[in-house]
Structure 1
Amino acid sequence: MNRYCYSLLLLFCFSLGPARAQTAALPKAKLNDCYRVVGKDSVVFYYSDEYVLTPPGCATIRRHVRLDSAGRFQGFVRDYRLTNNVLLVQGAYRAGRKEGLFEIYHPNGELATRGRYLQGREVGDWAYWYPTGRPRQILSFRDGRAPLIQQFWDETGTQLVKDGNGTWYRNELGLNLSGAVLQGAPDGRWVLRRLANDAVVVREIFRKGYFSSGVVVDTLETYQDESRLEIADWDAYSQGEVYTLSKVCQ
């Protein structure tokens, strides 16, 4: 699954069409305008919040990283918010792929996520926290498959999933995704709703942890190939590896 259209936003990517059409006539920025060489093999890249390369005047994030002879990320990487110099991401790359411990931070500087990569894939247990510093969840990643939900707490500190069993939810960008968890996997009916009016957008059915079927309510589209809902957070920082250029900086 393409995780660029992540989690709750996955089913709303079509809504970006008109906005994209309005800016289609603008030329793209030049790559040379979106980075600065600060050492023999050290580079600072400038990105938007979506990790699209953009000139510094329009950027919100800067990335300090080294490049190998093939132009791939190599060694330690640090991402900072340009407005206040807050650390957003720190980790390391090997031959262009994330390797070892990564830490992601909330805009207020609190730790948001900590886990390990192996050859570019999440592995083992990943821990997550709310911006307040309270624990949020622990997910277990398994060889490219959907992660298992081991533990989950709400914002008040109440544990809703314990040892892989309970109920899980996420409120994000005006949407709520929720469902039951059995032995770490989604079970029964999972629902994506709009928070503004409690309208159901998507329903999916799982049986003993396996996806069964789903329906997009607005269009009555049904599907049985795979789930279209993501439990894991969108790793926006990974988009920096793609070298996507923004439109010119206005």
Structure 2
Amino acid sequence: MNRFYVIVPLFFISAYCNETTLPEEIPVGAKYDKARNVYYLDEPNRQRLYYESGKLYSDCPVDEAKQFHGFCRTYARSEDRTASEGKYEHGAKVGDWVWYFPDGKIYVKQKFGTRPRRPDSIWLGEEGNEEGPYLRYYSDGSLELQGFYKDGQKSELWQKFFKDGELEYSGYYAQGKKVRTWFYYFPNRAKEAVEVFDNDGKFLSRSIYSPDGKKICEVDSKGASCG
């Protein structure tokens, strides 16, 4: 029941750019990057990315290796507003980062540390150096998800909420693995499931309930008993 979502860095980019014709709004000297589907302009100590419309996608300082290094900001595709902002150190996010909804309200607030990024993070859709609180919000400003990272992995208590503020699920992580007892709830506040793991993240059991509170299934390492 992994209900977490990955935030995609180039979320707002369209699926098509004309590789051969440079739009009027794109600065002279900009080149097309087919892999990222953007135009880019390299300047001394800086790189700017552009949508095919000519609107600025990102404006970031870079180091000698052309990696982002310093305060970086990305912009929405259809509006002149900030989509995300934060600091890089030699290509890795560090410190406080914020992502925004189209209306400017905060979508995600997250912290990143200065430790080396975990090698497996790219395959997991993570940065690999997350550190500290993680907060995600609904478009109305209410809290949707809160948790904590340590050494680039989910840790401590994680909780997700329905839009009305009621708890959707709650449980603990240790080194990126679910541990102890996890509770899941239906929108009517009835218990949906209970999962139990040992302190090393090994699955022990899962109890599943119907919205009226009746237990309908019990699962453990030996199998399932339902009905």
Name the TM-score, length of structure 2 as normaliser. Answer: 0.54
Which amino acid in the other structure matches residue 76 of structure 1? F
Counterparts of 1:152 and 1:146, CA distance in 2: 14
Contact 2:182–2:196, Cα closer than 8 Å, also in 1: yes
**SS at structure 2 position matched to 1:83:** coil
Q: Which of residues 77, 84, 92 is equivalent to 2:87? A: 92
CA distance in 2: counterparts of 1:102 and 1:117, whole angstroms: 8
C-alpha displacement of 1:149: 3.7
Q: CA RMSD in A?
A: 3.9
Equivalents in 2 of 1:99, 1:140: separation in Å? 15
1:195 aligns with none
1:110 equivalent in alignment to 2:105? yes
Give the aligned partner of residue 32 of structure 1: 31
- Given the alignment of the two structures, is residue 207 of structure 1 paired with residue 197 of structure 2, yes or no? yes
Equivalent residues in 2 for 1:85-164, closer than 5 Å: 85-119=80-114, 121-158=129-166, 160=167
Q: Structure 2: how far apart are the matches of 1:188 and 1:151? A: 10
Tell me the CA shift for residue 116 of structure 1: 1.2
1:41 aligns with 2:36: no
Paired residue secondary structure (1:99): strand
Distance in 2 separating the partners of 1:80 and 1:141? 26
- d(CA) in 2 for partners of 1:189, 1:151: 10
Deviation at 1:59, TM superposition (A): 8.4
- Secondary structure of the equivalent of 2:69? strand
Report the AA paired with residue 137 of structure 2: W
- Choose between structure 1 and 2 for higher RCO, CA contacts under 8 A separated by at least 6 residues: 1
SS at match of 2:112: strand
Deviation at 1:104, TM superposition (A): 0.9
Q: CA separation of 1:59/1:100 partners in 2, compared to 1, >3 Å: closer, same or farther? A: same
SS of corresponding position for 1:115: strand
**Overall identity of the aligned pairs, in %:** 18
Q: Over residues 157-206 of structure 1, what are the superposed CA-to-partner deviations in whole Å (9 max), with x where a residue is unaligned?
A: 23x1xxxxxx42xxxxxxxxxxxx3446464698xxxxxxxxxxxxxx65
1:207 offset after TM fit, Å? 1.4
Task: Give the ranges of 4+ consecutive aligned residues of structure 1 lying more than 3 Å apart after TM superposition.
Answer: 6-9, 28-31, 58-61, 147-152, 181-190
Corresponding letter in the other structure for 1:136: E
- Between the aligned partners of 2:19 and 2:147, the Cα distance in structure 1 is 38
SS of alignment partner, residue 73 of structure 1: coil
Larger radius of gyration: 2
* Greater fraction of residues in helix: 1
Q: Cα offset for 1:43?
A: 1.8
CA distance in 2, matches of 1:142, 1:188: 19
* Cα distance change on mapping 1:109 and 1:115 into 2, 3 Å: same
